[in-house]
């Protein structure tokens, strides 16, 4: 569980999650995403390939 926010904000969030099925599903989905991502191996990427990918992302972000 990640920290952050005031105790009152965390309590409010917990109260909301206790009642909101949509947000409960979202939190469960994010737990699965974190688990899946943690299982991935880090790959070494050639610097030129990384630069090309970053340039593509930057162009698409505009």
For residues 17 and 23, the answer to whether their CB atoms sit within 8 Å is: yes
Give a yes or no: residue 21 inside a domain.
yes
Give a yes or no: residue 16 inside a domain.
yes
Give a yes or no: residue 17 inside a domain.
yes
Sign of the four-CA dihedral 38, 43, 44, 48: negative
pLDDT per residue as tens digits for the range 33-62: 999 999 999 889 999 999 999 999 999 877
Give a yes or no: residue 2 inside a domain.
no
**Residue-number span of the structural domain to which 24 is assigned:** 7-61
Give a yes or no: residue 1 inside a domain.
no
pLDDT per residue as tens digits for the range 8-36: 999 999 999 999 999 999 999 999 999 99
Give a yes or no: residue 26 inside a domain.
yes
**Domain total in the chain:** 1
């Amino acid at each position: 569980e990640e920290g952050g926010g005031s105790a009152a904000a965390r309590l409010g969030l917990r109260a909301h999650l206790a009642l909101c099925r949509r947000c409960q599903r979202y939190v469960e989905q994010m737990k699965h995403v974190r688990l899946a991502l943690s299982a991935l191996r880090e790959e070494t990427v050639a610097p030129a390939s990384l630069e090309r990918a970053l340039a593509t992302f930057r162009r698409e972000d505009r």
